[in-house]
């Protein structure tokens, strides 16, 4: 059972671990974009580049037994929770060494042993499931928590409403992380909602709602730790809205021509990684050498993931029939 | 939390043509029990046996369920294990899935099976694929109870039989009991099963059927059909309330000298193809009965299986008697026209001997 942590650990090692999680996520996704252009990725790529502080800051301090339900753009969450880059890369290439043995792409699968559960392309549908995981924690009287990830686009769904309402009524240990990147595919937030902040909706569900800069790792982490503690204390759910920006299109084929280039450049200048580096240097935790070493390590890990995935065979045909039912073919 | 007193004026919403009488359903052990009481007993016994079993749905708590299927369970197991939800079918199924993958065994209730369409995505895209896309590293051991069917003056949104939508979907299991014994045994088996099971139960049978049940624990395994009435001349293949109509038709046919065998499928997925094919090879005639719509229904699949595996044995075309392909109409004569009544089954059987 996880121990209650009152304050985020800010030891130098931990601060650098957080840094590495963001670097690894960035390196992994930058490589994915290259592999896509090389024609090596046949499926879709849903880049979370630019949103790493949200992914890492909300998942880093979770503990064994907690459950996360990352969305397609949350590779940073999966890696931070311990999903091996090799298994994830093989998954994306459809290889047998992938998380699901080739059955599904991207983050539609997961690893229950790490508390990482796959979501589907029906945006919003994972929130009731995350609420159900939180319900299980409540009924089993553990103090584990569930974290549901959703874009601002997914907050328009009925499932978002049904799940948050239920979580409020039952005071479930659920944290709903809303990654507000201002676009649902091409549709701007102004066409999605009539309020400025998704967090305003939390009041309607009887839970606290907070808005923060999703590109500021420290703000995100602070709010996440607070919400997790609240949930562990059985005080109920929290909605955290992280305002951030995806640098790439909805998926790699999308040139995102629907947005203003000034807006994009403005957000690019708020890159969460240099922003965090600045903090680390002020704290005298980061030097040029350490930064260089961390980047080299992240790149090497991604190199190894690609090598593993490319070498991994495609699954055998009979494996298509495995694991649909608990006892095999009905 | 204590149970608020139920107002005397509270009326069940059960659209049944027999008077609601929960007290009679919950008679002490011994004596015949209704189909509805068999379901209630299965829930209570499984909850006593396994602390990971819990109930979630609309009005299942202190009220005891729209039909009384959870009557008394709130008092015995408390509000956490007999959990009322808002009107939110997608949430009910989604939450059941989330709790199931974390090790609990939820029994969720759709108040009427008609409402299952509101949870369609959670069933077919989420729960049904969950195990497969995690490559067997988790399972989804939930049961979704669905009060189904017409002939209770419920009109088109309280009378549907939605099993075909899910029969089509890989990753789900489906059962549809026709007797109190099977209702109890199949529900227990479904709760103990590690996969998502849709449990279609029939409002028309709730208080119409009574049966002595074994005192000891038993299950009816999923995937095994029952020959309800052996016969030589014709196989009537049915499930759920369709089996009830088929048995009535078989009695009429017997008086006319036609000896019909009634195969009650009990499970639709897994489907006991061997029993179906074996029966038809013996009797050489196949008449398929269900209350659900005809087009694209379970009967069409059974007809295809028989065409593939028993064509050479057939002495007559395969026929289907089903609900007609219209929304379930309200006016009593129109509803009777819709239903696969014993009269329609008998009439179809006559055509097979011309």
Residue B123 domain-assigned (yes or no): yes
Q: What is the domain extent for residue A87?
A: 12-321
CATH classification of the domain holding B80: 3.40.50.970
CATH classification of the domain holding A268: 3.40.50.970
Asked if B344 and B277 sit in the same domain, the reply is: yes
Residue B42 domain-assigned (yes or no): yes
Among the candidates B211, B237, B261, a domain finishes at B211
Asked if B161 and B99 sit in the same domain, the reply is: yes
Asked if B196 and B88 sit in the same domain, the reply is: yes
Calpha distance B232→B320 (Å, rounded): 19
Which residues in chain B are contacts of A100 at CB distance < 8 A? Answer: 133-135
Q: Is A104 on the interface with B (CB under 8 A)?
A: yes
Residue B20 domain-assigned (yes or no): no
Calpha distance B107→B129 (Å, rounded): 19
Calpha distance B27→B179 (Å, rounded): 18
Calpha distance B32→B256 (Å, rounded): 31
Among the candidates B186, B211, B236, a domain finishes at B211
pLDDT per residue as tens digits for the range B29-65: 579 999 999 999 999 999 999 999 999 999 999 999 9
Query: Do A122 and B88 count as a contact with CB atoms less than 8 A apart?
Result: no
Domain count, chain A: 1
User: If you count residue pairs, one on A and one on B, with CB atoms under 8 Å apart, how many are there?
Assistant: 149
CA angle (A31, A123, B107) in 5-degree steps: 125
* Residue of B57, B78, B101, B133 for testing the chain A interface, max A β-carbons within 10 Å: B133
Residue A2 domain-assigned (yes or no): no
Query: Do A125 and B86 count as a contact with CB atoms less than 8 A apart?
Result: no
* Residue of B102, B170, B196 for testing the chain A interface, max A β-carbons within 10 Å: B102
Asked if B74 and B106 sit in the same domain, the reply is: yes
Q: Is B264 on the interface with A (CB under 8 A)?
A: no
Q: Is B134 a catalytic residue?
A: no
Which among B71, B134, B153, B158 is annotated as catalytic?
B158
CATH classification of the domain holding B329: 3.40.50.920
Asked if B90 and B230 sit in the same domain, the reply is: no
Domain count, chain B: 2
Residue B221 domain-assigned (yes or no): no
Asked if B193 and B268 sit in the same domain, the reply is: no
Asked if B157 and B121 sit in the same domain, the reply is: yes
Q: Is A120 on the interface with B (CB under 8 A)?
A: yes
pLDDT per residue as tens digits for the range B138-181: 999 999 999 999 999 999 999 999 999 999 999 999 999 999 99
Residue B161 domain-assigned (yes or no): yes
- Measure in Å the smallest separation between the Cα of A249 and chain B Cα atoms: 25
Residue B219 domain-assigned (yes or no): no
- Measure in Å the smallest separation between the Cα of B335 and chain A Cα atoms: 34
Among the candidates B211, B234, B268, a domain finishes at B211
What is the full per-residue pLDDT of chain A (330 aa) written as tens digits?
A: 444 555 789 999 999 999 999 999 999 999 999 999 999 998 889 999 999 999 999 999 999 999 999 999 999 999 999 999 999 999 999 999 999 999 999 999 999 999 999 999 999 999 999 999 999 999 999 999 999 999 999 999 999 999 999 999 999 999 999 999 999 999 999 999 999 999 999 999 999 999 999 999 999 999 999 999 999 999 999 999 999 999 999 998 899 999 999 999 999 999 999 999 999 999 999 999 999 999 999 999 999 999 999 999 999 999 999 999 998 654
- Measure in Å the smallest separation between the Cα of B268 and chain A Cα atoms: 11
From the list A112, A137, A139, the residue facing B101 with the nearest CB is A112
Starting at the edge strand that comes first in sequence, how are the strands of the sheet with B226-229 ordered?
A: B226-229, B260-264, B234-238, B286-293, B319-323
Q: What is the dihedral of CA B249, B251, B255, B257, to 10 degrees?
A: 80
- pTM here is 0.94
Asked if B200 and B237 sit in the same domain, the reply is: no
pLDDT per residue as tens digits for the range B169-202: 999 999 999 999 999 999 999 999 999 999 999 9
Q: What is the domain extent for residue B236?
A: 226-351
Q: Can you list the positions of beta strands (E) in A83-231? A: 146-151, 174-180, 183-184, 187-188, 209-213
Q: Taking a C-beta distance cutoff of 8 angstroms, is the pair B94, B124 a contact?
A: no
> Which backbone phi and psi does A148 adopt, to 5 degrees?
-105, 135
Q: Is B80 left (phi over 0), alpha (psi -120 to 50) or beta?
A: alpha
Asked if B65 and B205 sit in the same domain, the reply is: yes
Q: Is B170 on the interface with A (CB under 8 A)?
A: yes
Contacts of B300 (CB under 8 A, 6+ apart): B294, B320
Residue B65 domain-assigned (yes or no): yes
Which residues in chain B are contacts of A120 at CB distance < 8 A? Answer: 125-126, 129
> Which backbone phi and psi does B156 adopt, to 5 degrees?
-75, -10
Bridge-based pairing state of the strands A187-188 and A183-184:
antiparallel
Asked if B234 and B177 sit in the same domain, the reply is: no
């Amino acid at each position: 059972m996880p121990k209650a942590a009152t304050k985020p650990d800010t030891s130098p090692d931990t601060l650098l671990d957080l840094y590495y999680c963001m670097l690894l996520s960035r390196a992994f996704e930058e490589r994915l974009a290259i592999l896509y252009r090389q024609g090596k990725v046949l499926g879709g790529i849903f880049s979370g580049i630019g949103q790493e502080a949200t992914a890492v800051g909300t998942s880093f301090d979770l503990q064994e037994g907690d459950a996360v339900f990352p969305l397609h753009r949350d590779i940073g969450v999966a890696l931070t929770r311990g999903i091996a880059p090799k298994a994830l890369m093989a998954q994306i290439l459809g290889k047998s060494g992938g998380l699901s043995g080739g059955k599904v792409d991207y983050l539609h699968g997961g690893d229950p042993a790490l508390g990482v559960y796959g979501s589907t392309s029906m945006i919003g549908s994972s929130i009731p499931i995350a609420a159900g995981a939180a319900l299980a924690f409540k009924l089993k009287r553990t103090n584990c928590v569930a974290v549901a990830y959703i874009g601002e686009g997914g907050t328009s769904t009925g499932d978002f409403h049904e799940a948050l309402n239920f979580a409020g009524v039952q005071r479930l240990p659920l944290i709903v992380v809303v990654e507000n990147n201002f676009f649902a595919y091409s549709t701007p937030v102004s066409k999605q909602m009539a309020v400025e902040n998704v967090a305003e909706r939390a009041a309607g569900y009887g839970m606290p709602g907070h808005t923060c800069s999703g590109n500021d790792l420290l703000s995100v982490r602070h709010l996440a730790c607070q919400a997790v503690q609240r949930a562990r204390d059985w005080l109920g759910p929290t909605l955290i809205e992280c305002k951030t920006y995806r640098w790439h299109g909805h998926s790699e084929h999308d040139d995102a021509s629907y947005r203003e280039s000034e807006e994009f450049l403005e957000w690019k200048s708020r890159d969460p990684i240099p922003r965090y580096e600045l903090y680390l240097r002020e704290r005298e935790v980061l030097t040029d050498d350490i930064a260089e070493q961390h980047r080299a390590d992240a790149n090497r890990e991604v190199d190894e993931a690609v090598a593993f995935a490319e070498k991994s065979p495609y699954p055998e045909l009979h494996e298509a029939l495995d694991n649909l039912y608990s006892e095999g073919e009905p | 939390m204590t149970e608020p007193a139920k107002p005397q004026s509270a009326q069940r919403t059960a659209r049944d043509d027999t008077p609601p009488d929960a007290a009679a359903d919950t008679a002490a052990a011994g004596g015949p029990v209704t189909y509805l009481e068999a379901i209630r007993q299965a829930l209570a016994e499984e909850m006593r046996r396994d602390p990971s079993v819990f109930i979630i749905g609309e009005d299942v708590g202190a009220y005891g369920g729209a039909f009384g299927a959870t009557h008394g369970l709130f008092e015995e197991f408390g509000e956490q294990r007999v959990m009322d939800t808002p009107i939110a079918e997608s949430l009910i199924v989604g939450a059941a899935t989330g709790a199931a993958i974390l090790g609990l065994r939820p029994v969720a209730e759709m108040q009427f099976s008609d409402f299952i369409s509101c949870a369609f995505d959670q069933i077919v895209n989420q729960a049904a694929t969950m195990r497969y896309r995690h490559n067997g590293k988790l399972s989804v051991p939930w049961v979704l109870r669905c009060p189904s069917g017409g002939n209770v003056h419920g009109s088109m949104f309280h009378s549907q039989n939605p099993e075909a939508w899910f029969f089509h979907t890989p990753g789900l299991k489906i059962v549809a009991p026709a007797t109190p014994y099977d209702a109890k045994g199949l529900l227990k088996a479904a709760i103990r099963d590690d996969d998502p099971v849709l449990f279609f139960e029939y409002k028309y049978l709730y208080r119409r059927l009574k049966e002595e049940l074994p005192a000891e624990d038993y299950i009816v395994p999923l995937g095994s059909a029952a020959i309800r009435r052996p016969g030589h001349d014709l196989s009537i293949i049915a499930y759920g309330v369709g089996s009830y109509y088929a048995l009535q038709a078989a009695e009429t046919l017997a008086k006319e000298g036609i000896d019909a065998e009634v195969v009650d499928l009990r499970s639709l997925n897994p489907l006991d193809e061997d029993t179906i094919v074996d029966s038809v090879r013996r009797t050489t005639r196949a008449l398929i009965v269900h209350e659900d719509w005809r087009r694209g229904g379970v009967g069409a699949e059974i007809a295809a299986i028989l065409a593939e595996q028993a064509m050479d044995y057939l002495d007559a075309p395969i026929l289907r008697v089903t609900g007609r392909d219209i929304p379930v109409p309200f006016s009593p004569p129109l509803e009777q026209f819709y239903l696969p009544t014993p009269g329609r089954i008998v009439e179809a059987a006559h055509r097979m001997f011309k």
